[in-house]
A and B are shown apart, each in its own frame.
Chain A
């Protein structure tokens, strides 16, 4: 698979896990399916009965697809086809307001439909594609923050400090008087400035975020830096998730990142993902204290 320039570039993300490739892909797909099906259900719970018949159909289709993929390996591609169809309908019906993670989940489904996990060459192709997805997303997330210019002077984070969640976790980065001033703003036209003088920690944090995203992408590709880049990328993701709470995207992306780990980490991660989803479900059902997540 090293005969074309495309294949040579694709192979840059290869690891040394040939003997565990099929097992880790299987565990990745299982975790992924759990996340997607749980996402359909947990988004529906707070609005039960108000989402319309089409969402009920998608909920049913995604559940059947999930059960098929998890319980019957021979139905894997059919299950992913159903899941992809449900996502396509969702993207179409919600266009353009669907979150980016819906596109990511669709790409992953399409890869699983196209490629056979029991064929070593196709499994390798799937693993490479999944790893490149993680690299592309990480890199462009950083570039987008730089390109739109609201992170260089810290404006995005300062604006976000208007929300309680951000304030609780990042309030320490601002002097107390500036934090009180920002907290009093409500984002109305004319308000501001969402800038502060004398807040080096916030500026460092803001710029380190996009810089890390851009730098960690090639660092994941290059084998010599991968062992260091992987925990740093997971740490960065965890930091972002603590404030942003986009947990479904976070879980899918963490699963993608773990594909860069040496050996098979997916088999363990799958159970951690399942446990996290149970906690999220119990929280949404009111059994555990309420946690805000999207």
Chain B
């Protein structure tokens, strides 16, 4: 590769690396993305909490009562663990698709899913540890 091309590549990459943290901050503000990860250089910008809780509900009709998942299959449990680990850093950008697919296999009669993830945050207004939540309503793809 000629030097000029290498130079353009390096300068372009540096420009991207210089701009990415600004995008990262925007994602954190909009989607609650953790500043700790993904190359935004926001390590230590916020306290890091480990505790995350999740409740999952499903129902078969839009008018039906929500039924909480209390005894997931091993596949659904694995998918939930993976989703929570992603959610710890990606927050509202974490995709529940694999979890939804696993629960769809467990409960073929369900057409809707409600996933509620709760996680601690340090509230800037009060200085106290508060609880934030991310609630997702998902329509399960039907094959009926």
Contact = CB atoms under 8 A, between A and B. Distances in A.
Interface of A: 1, 4, 6-7, 9-10, 96-100, 103-104, 107, 110-111, 114-115, 119, 121-122, 125, 128-129, 132-133, 136-137, 140-141, 143-145, 147-151, 153, 155-156, 159-160, 187-195, 240, 244, 246
A125 B7 contact: yes
Interface stretch (B43-51, B55-63, B109-117, B136-144): B43-51
Interface string B25-48: 100110000011111111111110
A6 B42 CA distance: 26
A107 B40 contact: no
A156 B47 contact: yes
Nearest to B10: A129
B70 interface: no
A120 to B, nearest CB: 11
B67 interface: no
Contacts of B36: 100
Nearest to A145: B45
Interface in B102-140: 120, 122-124, 126-131
Contacts, number: 150
A136 B44 contact: no
Nearest 9 A/B pairs, CB to CB: A192-B128, A144-B42, A193-B127, A140-B21, A195-B127, A6-B11, A103-B39, A144-B45, A140-B41
A193 B128 contact: yes
Contacts of B97: none
Interface hub of B21, B45, B127, B128 (most chain A Cβ within 10 A): B45
B3 interface: yes
Given A144-B24, A155-B122, A187-B47, 4 more contacts: A122-B3, A145-B42, A159-B47, A188-B120
A41 B44 CA distance: 25
Contact of B129 (A4, A107, A114, A191): A191
B17 interface: yes
Contacts of A111: 10
A114 B6 contact: yes
Contact of B45 (A104, A107, A151, A194): A151
A153 B122 CA distance: 12
Contacts of B130: 189-190
